[in-house]
Structures are given as C-alpha cells and as structure tokens.
Structure 1
Amino acid sequence: MGVATAPPGPAPESGEREETEASSESDRTGPGRAHWLRVAREAADDLATDAVAREQAGKAPFDEVSRLREAGLLTLLVPAESGGGGADWPTAYAVVREIAAADGAIAQLLGCHYFLSWSARFFAEPALAARVERRSAAGQWCWGGGLARREPPPTLARTAHGLVLDGRQSYATGILVADRFAVRAVRAGTGEPLAVVVDPGRRGVRIEGDADTFGQRLAGGGSVEFDAVPVAADDVLGSLSADEDVLSPAAALASPVGRLVSVQLLLGVAEGVLAEAREYSRTGHSPWQHAWPAGTPHDPQVLTTYGELTVLTRSASALTDQALAAVYGGLARGAELAYDEYAEISVLAAMAEAAAARAAQESTTRALDVIGARSASARLGFDRFWRNARTHTLYEPGAHRLREVGNYFLDGGHPAFTLPA
C-alpha cells in the first residue's frame, strides 16, 4: 500500500515539450486559492437564494450537483496536470465551509465527495491513484458512499468470472446522485477490509432513497444493494485494515483529513445561522425573505447571546486552524510521518471536531431564541440549520472525539483509526 502525495500526470510528447515548459504557473498548479474562494462564494450565494424552498422540497440534488460541476468545484482537488483544479486541502476545506454557511446539506455532499474522490491517494498505489483521478476529472464524477465501519459490510469474493461484490451499504451520503461510489467491503475468506470503487450503472446495483432524515435532506443520502456486482482489479483501491503492519501513518491520515471535513461543515453551519440571524436583527427581515419583520435587536440578553456564540464559534475556528496546519504538515511529510506524529495530529482533529460540534449545536439552537417566536415560521427557514447540524452530529457524535482526547491526555493512548461516517 502506498500514499501518493501528487499523482503524476501523463508526460508530454516531444512536440509539446516547449509549449509545456512555457506554460504559466497557473497552468501547472491551477488558478489558486483566491480564485476558488471567489467561486465558492458565488456558488454559496446562488445556493442561498433558494435554500429554504429546495430544502423543504427535499428532492434528490441533481440540480445542485450540476451547479457545483459547472463551477469547477467537483475537480478542485485533482492536480491541474490531470485535468483538475490543482487546489490543496486547506482550499477544499475553505470551500466546504463557505458552501455550508448557505446550505449545510450540499456542503456535506461536497465534503464527502472530496474525501472519497481523494481516498485513492491514501489507500492505493501511486500509479493507480493517478489513473483514478484522471478518470474522475475527465468524467467530472461526483463521488458518494462511505468507508466507515458498518455491520455487516458488503463482501468482495473471487469467482470463476472475476471479482464480485455482494451485500448492502446502509445510509451513505451522495448515493442518489453519485457517478461513482467508494464503499467499504471485506474480502471473502480473510475478512480484510477494503476500499472499493463501484460504478452505479453496473448490473446488480440497486439504489434506494430510503434515508428519510429530518435534516441533511439534500445530501443525496440513501442505501445501496450489491447483487454479484462485477468489480475490476483497478476498482479495488487497497486495504482499510487498522493493523499497524498494514496501515502506514501516512495512510492513517485519512482519518483526521476526513474529520476536518466534518469540522468545516459544522463551522460553516454555525457561521451561516449567525449571519442570517444577525441580518434579521439588523434590518428587520431575513436576507432571503423580506416580508417578515424582526423583533427588538438590542435587548441586552440578545447582545449577550450573540457575544457568547461569536466567542464559541471563533474559539472552535482557532482550534481548527491548529488542526488544519498539523494535518497539512502531516500530508507534506508523507512516508516520513511517524505514528506518534500521526496520533498528535489525530487528537488535534478530534479536539476541533468536538469544539465545532458544540459551536454548531449551540449556535443553531440559540439563534432561534434570539429571533424568538418568528423563528418557528417555516417560511424563514431558520430551523434547517438546527436540523442539518443535529443530524450530522448524530452520525458523528462529539462524545467519541472527547473520549479520544481524554485518553490521549491521560495515558498517551493513540486514537483508533476510524473513518468518518
């Protein structure tokens, strides 16, 4: 198993060499962070204008995925030489957070896509990872599924006709709209956990829109059944074993990298609800619904609540910055990363996730108190922030992260290798 920090693109033909050497830095590395943040803000503004109506309709987010695809955000993390945006994880995190402030469910869909589409870099050999990314960029794939431990997992077995996948994956993000699934399966006979890519168009794949969650309704969640689905050798990315003889510290970074997707989603939701509540308090109406008057904005209790929630969210954001720097540093070290370094990075990510979960839950709950009885109006849509945050934290409980932090603080225990749900 290998970790590719930068899967190489195809070498230029001799006749193209001079033109390639003369290309700009942007051609080689992508447009840059400022460009992608501007694109993300434009996409977020677009999503915000009809967020309430779309969330209440609860349709599968095909249109929303098309908006992200047209903006170039689906290929953000693919190297520019492989046909992608050439951006890094700090930029991808910032994009998820920007989108989450407008629409938490679409941010979950996008964050899941980033993590799964990048998973080949953690679990596959570099050459295979490069092939997967080039195909993903060429097809503008949206990824869905999940690699978290589930019982019972699908089984990958070898037959006379090749590898086949059988079983069921319960709730998974993006399953209704994905062009490719990345799923956790176990190898028949040995029980070794594997990351497997599945084309939803293959025979034997049956998708069910049975999630019916009260929040994150636009995240394209559902379940999928596999009935003797053919799997090519290149679609088996690699092992998900937590055994230290198999799992390298660099591959184990998949856990904190995924945790920080959750963190940015939660912080974006917290910042989004506070921004909308502030606009309502200042101007007398919701930024997207201009006909509903606000209450008294400068009540001392209201000011105190805004102050407390701002401190809580900014504190979680500062802790997240520390975790992000540690994760990015670990990715840069690659194969030189040691297990003790990985443990410290993982604990920082756990701290950030616990803090962000609290900030999101407090902000989305108490913002309703600030607005008062008017926040009960479905037309204003303030409740969607609370429902999205609460649904997400039910799948990713902050208490689990706190136990990891406590164990590390008290006994120096390394966090278990777990992948986000």
Structure 2
Amino acid sequence: MGVATAPSGPAPESDRSGPGRAHWLRVGRETADDLATDAVTREQAGKAPFDEVARLREAGLLTLLIPAELGGGGADWPTAYAVVREIAAADGAIGQLLGCHYFLSSSARFFAGPALAAQVERQSAAEQWCWGGGFAHQELPLTLVRKAGGYVLDGRQSYATGILVADHLAVRAELADTGEPLAVVVHSARHGVRIDGDVDTFGQRLAAGGSVEFDAVPVASHDVLGSLSADEDVLSPLAALTSPVGRLLSVQVLLGIAEGVLAEAREYSRVGHSPWHPAWPDGSPQDPQVLTVYGELTVLTRSASALADQAREAVHGGLARGEDLTYDEYAEISVLVAMAEAAASRAAQESTSRALDIIGSRSASSRLGFDRFWRNARTHTLYEPAAHRLRDVGDYFLNGAHPPFVLPVRP
C-alpha cells in the first residue's frame, strides 16, 4: 500500500553536501530583488505565475531541499526558511507558493520509506518539478478506492496552493473502506484531473491557488506515500514533526511580508511627507509620531522574528533527533512553533495596516501598491487563524496537553 511504519526522516547533514548556506542565501536575495522590480505590476495583473516559477527554477530554488546526491541543492530546512522569508518580503504570494512547494516536495521523507522517498526526490530534481496541493483536512474528503494493481481517486478539493502551475499534486485522501487518511501524489496532467482557478481571493493572488477535481483518476501503489493519521499507533513523532515543519513555513511568509512592507515604507518615507505634519519629511527625527510608529512596528517584528528563530532551532533539533524523537519533545516543538505563528500573524497584520497610516492618503494609490502587503497578510491569516494556535499554547501551558497533529492549509 506504500504505507511505511518507519518514515525515512531528513537526510543527515553529512549526506546533504551542496553549494552551502551562503550560496543559497545569496541566490534567494538575488531572486527576491528580481521579483521586487515588477512586484506591483505582476500582482495587479493577477496572472498565473508561470514566469515567476520559471525564475525560481532557473535560480535552482525548486530543488534546494533535495539532497545533493539525488541531484538537488543539498540545503537544510533553516536555509529553506530563510529563502522563503526573503522571497516573501519581495512578493508574499510567491513566498507562499515556494513554501508550499518545499513542504509538499519533501513530504515523502516523512511519510514514505527511504527507497520510495529517494525515488520521488530524484525524479523531482531531474525534471525540476513544481509541487502544489495540500494535506489539510477537507470538509468533503477525497476518496481512494482500492482496485487491482492500485487505487482510484475521486472528489474535489476546494482550495490548494500552487495547483495552477504545479507539475505534481500532493493531496490528502481517505481510503473508502477504512477511512484512513493518506498522502497521495498525482501528476497534474493525468486524465481525470481538472484544475480550476476559481478561487477569487483579494490577496495572495499569485500563489496559484484554485480548486481541483479528481474523476476516477488512477493512482499507482507507489504514488501513495503513507498515512496521515493522527493516531500515535500509526504516526511516529518524527512524522508528526511534519506539522510544525510546514507551519513554520507559514511563519516565514508572514514575517517576510511584515519586513517587506516596513522596508518599502521606510524608503518612501525618506522622500515623502508626514501625514501629520506636511512640512516635515517622513522619517525625519522632527516627527516623533512617525518615529514612534516605526519603533513600535520594528520591536513587534523583531520580537516575532526572535521567537521564529527559537522555533526554527527547535524544529532543526527535532529533525536531527530522527527516530529518537519522543512525543513529549514533539509537543514542545509544536507549541513553540504555535507561539511563533501567533506572533508572526500579529506582526504582519499590524505592520501592513499601520504602515499605510505612516504614508497617509498617498498609500491609497494603486500605482504604489502598498495595499498588496495588507491584502496578502490578511488573506494568509484568514486561512491560518492565530486563535487556534493560541488555544493550543494555552492548553499546553495550563493542562500539559499535546497540540493536535494539524497540517497547514497554506504553508
């Protein structure tokens, strides 16, 4: 069935030799600078981001996380997080698209056996696949029916990131006879797959989101990666770590948006005028209100960033523990990521909203495009409400309850 009781886990650092962290951070910055040059016009055009994906592919960023011996960039998760944040600062939607790609393209490591995981990643690297889809629980689940030699997939997923440009889709489906949720990989061009760009969100419009329908789509046994069950008898602590790994990508997207809007507002303030004192240029030490707002937003964003750094180190340490990771350790990591999610959500919403106040009425100009930051942040946080994570943190603090195994809607 393709379900493995012992996930392959992350490749050891010694097996992931590649160009190195400094190289990928430089590539990430260069790609972000490239995306920033036409971010406003691309966002307003709202076209499916085939060109943007081509830029990511040309830079080598699509295969960044795949081990070097399998043909990839050989980078680790901390590096991937940094790259996603850099891209999101320039273009929040493309940051989300890339984060989703990293999450889904690496899923075989957590849910499949080592041989199958290596096979999937080797082919993904060789053919430069872009991944889309998602494993979040759906109200009307996709169904997987056993057939001779494999399965048949049916159903509709109402929202999935990246599917308009994806080569391969990774989705959650339930076995019709047992109800067990499984991670399934499907080629986007396979007969019976119908992708529709009918998701008309006011933000994150370039994340290539849409709905996807599966009509009697054949699925081979090796395309079923493994179980997504939250039952501790099925899901190992290492596989459960997939949840905070993916949710921390969402944190990077939000922090990138917050940092991006503050950087653009600062540049504009230095040549604009204060909305409170028209005679004073924005950013001037003569304007205490402007300085106070910038100070508050800087502290808020830096604080969220520091918490995200702690969560990143915890996730990296958990991955390094591999099969020795315990459920108690997983719970501590998951709670720390939940705290980072809540902090990043607040930082993104506050920064993208109050930056408009700093700039004043000129921020309403569509030509400047400042509204895209607010729309992107608000859309992302609507799909991933911070209230859920705060409840998990509170339950852990007060009752010692382990957070539920929740996969992100929008990595």
Asked if these proteins are the same fold (TM beyond 0.5), I'd say yes
Look up the SS of the partner of 2:232 in the other structure: coil
Matched letter for residue 58 of structure 1: G
Look up the SS of the partner of 1:283 in the other structure: coil
Q: Is the 8 A contact 1:6 1:79 kept in 2?
A: no
Task: Check if 1:297 corresponds to 2:279.
Answer: no
Matches within 5 A, 1:94-109: 94-109=82-97
Q: Is the 8 A contact 1:96 1:107 kept in 2?
A: yes
Cα distance in 2 between the residues matched to 1:30 and 1:232: 32
Q: Is the 8 A contact 2:191 2:217 kept in 1?
A: yes
Q: Is the 8 A contact 2:271 2:281 kept in 1?
A: no
Residue 34 of structure 2: aligned partner: 46
Residue 276 of structure 2: aligned partner: none
Q: Is the 8 A contact 1:5 1:332 kept in 2?
A: no
Residue 299 of structure 2: aligned partner: 311
Residue 45 of structure 2: aligned partner: 57
Matches within 5 A, 1:301-340: 301-340=289-328
Residue 232 of structure 1: aligned partner: 220
Task: Check if 1:126 corresponds to 2:130.
Answer: no
Displacement of 1:294: 9.9
Deviates more, 1:154-163 or 1:106-115: 154-163
CA offsets, 1:230-263, max 9 Å, x none?
1011110000000000010010000100111000
Of residues 3, 9, 14, the one that matches 2:7 is 3
Cα distance in 2 between the residues matched to 1:257 and 1:249: 12
CA offsets, 1:152-181, max 9 Å, x none?
111010124631100011111001000000
Look up the SS of the partner of 1:213 in the other structure: coil
Counterparts in 2 of 1:187 and 1:307: CA distance versus 1, 3 Å: same
Cα distance in 2 between the residues matched to 1:234 and 1:294: 65
Displacement of 1:2: 2.3
Counterparts in 2 of 1:69 and 1:294: CA distance versus 1, 3 Å: farther
Of residues 305, 324, 335, the one that matches 1:347 is 335
Q: Is the 8 A contact 2:50 2:165 kept in 1?
A: yes
CA offsets, 1:33-68, max 9 Å, x none?
100010011100100000000000000000000000
Q: Is the 8 A contact 1:182 1:198 kept in 2?
A: yes
**Coordinate RMSD, CA, aligned:** 1.6
The ranges of structure 1 where at least 4 consecutive aligned residues each deviate by more than 4 angstroms after the TM superposition are: none
Displacement of 1:126: 1.1
Residue 357 of structure 2: aligned partner: 369
Task: Check if 1:169 corresponds to 2:173.
Answer: no
Cα distance in 1 between the residues matched to 2:270 and 2:403: 44
CA offsets, 1:272-302, max 9 Å, x none?
00000001111349xxxxxxx9954332111
Look up the SS of the partner of 2:381 in the other structure: helix
Counterparts in 2 of 1:7 and 1:310: CA distance versus 1, 3 Å: closer
Residue 167 of structure 2: aligned partner: 179
Cα distance in 1 between the residues matched to 2:109 and 2:379: 29
Counterparts in 2 of 1:294 and 1:417: CA distance versus 1, 3 Å: farther
Task: Check if 1:216 corresponds to 2:204.
Answer: yes
Cα distance in 2 between the residues matched to 1:76 and 1:245: 33
Task: Check if 1:389 corresponds to 2:377.
Answer: yes
TM-score (ref. length: structure 2): 0.94
Unaligned runs of 5+ in 2: 274-278
Cα distance in 1 between the residues matched to 2:108 and 2:6: 9
TM-score (ref. length: structure 1): 0.92
Task: Check if 1:277 corresponds to 2:281.
Answer: no
Displacement of 1:132: 0.5
CA offsets, 1:316-368, max 9 Å, x none?
01111111111000000011001000000000000000000000000000000
Displacement of 1:6: 4.5
Matches within 5 A, 1:225-264: 225-264=213-252
Unaligned runs of 5+ in 1: 9-24, 286-292
Counterparts in 2 of 1:6 and 1:257: CA distance versus 1, 3 Å: closer
Counterparts in 2 of 1:128 and 1:306: CA distance versus 1, 3 Å: same
Of residues 185, 191, 207, the one that matches 2:195 is 207
Look up the SS of the partner of 2:182 in the other structure: strand
Displacement of 1:376: 0.2
User: Sequence identity, in percent?
Assistant: 80
Cα distance in 2 between the residues matched to 1:161 and 1:34: 46
Cα distance in 1 between the residues matched to 2:247 and 2:149: 38
Cα distance in 2 between the residues matched to 1:296 and 1:181: 47
